[in-house]
Amino acid sequence: MYEPQVTIITPTYNVVDNSQVNDFDLMITMLGKQTYSFLDLLVIDNNSKDGTVDLLKEYKNEGSLAFYSEPDQGKFDAINKGLVRAKGKYVAFLSCDDFYHDIKAIENVVNFMEEEEADFCCFPSYCCQPDGSAFLFEPAILNTFQVVPCPRQAVIFRKEALQELGYFDAKFKLLADYDLIIRLILNGYAGVQWGDTLVTTKLGEKVNRYTTQAEAEFSHIFHKNFKTMYPMNEEVLERMVKISEIPRPLLDQLAQYFPDEEQEEFYQRYENMYNFRVQNS
């Protein structure tokens, strides 16, 4: 039976100085326990000078990973470099402090994607917050045009689909993964959802810390992707960013990117998210 290769891509920078060695070891340990055999880990390091490269050499000598260490322009630039070098038919992205807690995660998702001929597959994740609390993040694909539908760590992609889209748009330093999901849907790539929770992630603190930059990136992403469908003036963009309000003519066009049988739920989920954002603004 044909079993396609899967490449996990992990960007790193100063793992030692950032006290992430134990987290990184856990990620590698859990990858080693995966029941899927055709799996490799590719680490793209941002020219670390703190002992990270020595650590990576140790893991490489053990056969746990391959790595490259060279300057990059941020995590999405590093991920793009990894995508160019990735050997897998499928790719996934873990930060050095994430891990698959289900040892059948890769096996189940890859088999499902092969059966469904899917370009990407989302699944629930446990997300740890900086204060130590955690919550279950259920994918919200029908809300993609309003909010981030899931962490990038909770998606496995067909590599060729990302190649065709030109990979991540690395000018977005915080939200290039959100832009990518939007582009996948707008370009008709087939997405599916797996029901079990497979991965544990840590929420990116930068999005919460740099709210002005994050809001600017949301605005630019909406303008970039929707400008040919509707006049994306400053007022429209501000309301989309602040309260997830989408003008009805644009909303009706976006509904068409989902199957007919999902469109009623699409409108309902849109209203629910809009009302929630208004109430909490």
Question: What is the tens place of the pLDDT at every residue in 112-123?
Answer: 999 999 999 999
Residue 78 lies in a domain: yes
Q: Is residue 179 part of a domain?
A: yes
Return the pLDDT at 54: 95
Whether the pLDDT of residue 208 is over 90: the answer is no
Q: Is residue 276 a part of any domain in this protein?
A: yes
Q: Report if residue 209 sits inside a domain.
A: no
pLDDT of residue 180: 98
Same domain for 64 and 146? yes
Is residue 89 one of the residues assigned to a domain? yes
Tokens of 281: 């603004």
Residue 187 and residue 77 share a domain: yes
User: Across the chain, what does the average pLDDT equal?
Assistant: 95
pLDDT digits (tens, 9 = 90+) for 85-94: 999 999 999 9
Does one domain contain both 136 and 168? yes
We report the CATH number of the domain holding residue 67 as: 3.90.550.10
Give the pLDDT confidence score for residue 196 in this predicted structure. 96
Question: Which residues span the domain enclosing 11?
Answer: 6-204
Q: Give yes or no for residue 1 having a pLDDT over 80.
A: no
Q: 168-205: per-residue pLDDT in tens?
A: 999 999 999 999 999 999 999 999 999 999 999 987 66
The pLDDT > 70 percentage for the chain reads: 98
Are 112 and 233 found together in one domain? no
Domain count, the chain: 2
At 278, is the pLDDT very low, low, confident or very high (cuts 50, 70, 90)?
A: very high
Query: Could you tell me what percent of the chain has a pLDDT over 90?
Result: 93
**4 pLDDT band (50/70/90 cuts)?**
very high
In a domain, 92, yes or no: yes
With a cut of 70, say whether residue 154 has pLDDT above it: yes
172, 204, 236 — which closes off a domain?
Answer: 204
**What number is the average pLDDT over the span 11-34?**
95
Q: Are residues 163 and 279 in the same domain?
A: no
Q: What is the mean pLDDT of residues 69-74?
A: 94
Domain match, 124 and 54 both: yes
Judge if 198 and 231 occupy the same domain: no
